[in-house]
Structure 1
Amino acid sequence: MTAPVIEVRDLRKTYGSGDTAVHALRGLDLTVARGDYLAIMGASGSGKSTLLNILGCLDVPTSGRYLLDGIDTVEFGEAQLGILRNRKIGFVFQSFNLIPRTSALANVELPLVYAGVRRAERRARAMAALRLVGLDDRAHHRPNELSGGQQQRVAIARALVTAPAIVLADEPTGNLDTRSSQDVMGILDALNASGRTVVLITHEDDVAAHANRVVRVVDGHIAQGVPA
């Protein structure tokens, strides 16, 4: 049997200490199989964003285990986590996080710059990623020359350019109109259909309906017996 791409055991995250401590995650367990399409839902303050940050190696747990694509991340330092993040994970953020004065192509190239890929190769790979999301004809446009939906498609291309094992999307349609949301979800659907593992956070039932599986985070736990 193929090892899961994400395996979390007894994951705990506490911010602060003493009487003011905030227990964001309280012994959470989660397994995501390779090729899965998972939606994580939960109320504000439930712990779902903390969970996504740890899954994306942007934060570290207080205790527990997290295996990413078979690699135990618990003992990794910040530099090692950064390398792992760049190689294994593609991020799609609600706010796009594009560099304003830089072209779509340069934005998509950025993870390859960090990875030390040579200019000609990273240019070719970035163009291929933009082509995949239908924006190769906008490669030299800056973010302010693109619609919100187009900016999110650039962000998806950037997430894909390193050929990551997993794509993490944090409210990927949160700042988009209905048509642009449908376009973005269509791209994520197609990525999953081609074998990519996709994990997204959303508060919208119609977005979660695209996933093969829905889990709900309640008070730092994966809720049991709660309808998806």
Structure 2
Amino acid sequence: MSAPPPVIAVEDVRRTYHVTDDLAVHALDGVSLRIATGEYVAIMGSSGSGKSTLMNILGCLDVPTSGRYLLDGVDVRVLDEDEQSDLRNRKIGFVFQAFNLVPRTTALANVELPLTYAGLGRGERRRRALHALETVGMGPRVHHLPSELSGGQQQRVAVARAIVTNPSLILADEPSGNLDSRSTADVLRVFDELIVEGRTIVLITHEHDVAERADRVVHLADGRVISDQRTAKAAA
């Protein structure tokens, strides 16, 4: 029996932005990367290294100028915008630095939102959203508004929203960037539990202690991968 394809296969991906007729910015310059099911990978790099551009491509929010990106074996380049959107909604959960919760909506309603877009009925939305909130330890706070929650609690609600559609891949962009150390630890514990469940996580971070929680750390510079190493945790 052949091995399943990696969740992520990036092959010589380049992304060029033409700012003017005479100025082109090479955000990615030949990046290749493979991430298997269940891996936990951190991406690091200074400002302008290409990590946000790479994350946008992984999330099907942007497309390469050249090269290939396969998500669960599907070449994203051959899909039209509607097909990319469908693939993104089915396969990927997003966690952002700024939480991006709807301010005047309860935690429960925020988590139900992706299921509403997916067309699920009210009862099924409620059941799945409650389960996701329980998974991240927010069961007692389901009827609270974001303004009634701490930063760490808001981020856990955001993680619940990311996992409620049962995606195989979680993309987290600086998920601890607005959190104190205690809240960061709470959110990272949730990520650890998601890995145990078999999900795949890719996160951008500038914090070395956060990156060390992953299995691998990929460093970018000038749009290229300059190192891809296993962490001490993975080697243990």
SS at match of 1:66: strand
1:76-115 aligned at under 5 Å gives the runs 76-115=79-118
Residue of structure 1 aligned with 2:45, choices 42, 47, 56: 42
- Partners in 2 of 1:224 and 1:128 — Cα distance? 38
Residue of structure 2 aligned with 1:213, choices 212, 216, 234: 216
Asked whether 1:15 is paired with 2:8, we answer no
SS at match of 1:107: helix
Q: Please report the TM-score for the alignment, with normalisation by the length of structure 2.
A: 0.93
Residue number in structure 2 paired with 1:187? 190
Contact 2:216 2:230 in 1 (8 A): no
Residue number in structure 1 paired with 2:4? 2
- Deviation, structure 1 residue 225: 7.7
Asked whether 1:196 is paired with 2:199, we answer yes
Q: Please report the TM-score for the alignment, with normalisation by the length of structure 1.
A: 0.96
Residue number in structure 2 paired with 1:62? 65
Residue of structure 2 aligned with 1:172, choices 152, 175, 185: 175
- Deviation, structure 1 residue 224: 4.0
Larger mean Cα displacement after TM superposition, 58-67 or 145-154: 58-67
Contact 2:215 2:230 in 1 (8 A): no
Larger mean Cα displacement after TM superposition, 144-153 or 10-19: 10-19
- Segments of structure 2 that go 5 or more residues without pairing to the other structure are 232-236
Residue number in structure 1 paired with 2:234? none
Contact 1:113 1:122 in 2 (8 A): yes
SS at match of 1:19: coil
- Deviation, structure 1 residue 176: 0.2
Residue 3 of structure 1 aligns to which amino acid in structure 2? Answer: P
- Partners in 2 of 1:95 and 1:15 — Cα distance? 25
Residue number in structure 2 paired with 1:119? 122
Q: What's the C-alpha RMSD, in Å, of the aligned pairs?
A: 1.4
Contact 1:69 1:165 in 2 (8 A): no
SS at match of 1:109: helix
Contact 2:38 2:195 in 1 (8 A): yes
Contact 1:215 1:222 in 2 (8 A): yes
Asked whether 1:161 is paired with 2:164, we answer yes
- Partners in 2 of 1:173 and 1:4 — Cα distance? 27
**After TM superposition, where is structure 1 displaced by more than 6 Å over at least 4 residues in a row?**
225-228
Sort the Cα spacing of 1:119 and 1:208 in 2 relative to 1 into closer, same or farther, 3 A: same
- Segments of structure 1 that go 5 or more residues without pairing to the other structure are none
SS at match of 1:217: strand
Q: Name the count of aligned residue pairs.
A: 228
Residue 199 of structure 2 aligns to which amino acid in structure 1? Answer: R
Residue 156 of structure 1 aligns to which amino acid in structure 2? Answer: V
* Identity in percent: 63
- Deviation, structure 1 residue 177: 0.4
Q: Deviations 1:105-126 (Å, cap 9, x if unpaired)?
A: 1110111111111111011000
Residue 33 of structure 1 aligns to which amino acid in structure 2? Answer: A
- Partners in 2 of 1:23 and 1:211 — Cα distance? 28
Contact 2:107 2:144 in 1 (8 A): yes
Q: Deviations 1:50-85 (Å, cap 9, x if unpaired)?
A: 000110111111111111111111122222211111
Asked whether 1:139 is paired with 2:120, we answer no
Larger mean Cα displacement after TM superposition, 45-54 or 133-142: 133-142
Sort the Cα spacing of 1:226 and 1:188 in 2 relative to 1 into closer, same or farther, 3 A: closer
- Deviation, structure 1 residue 194: 2.0
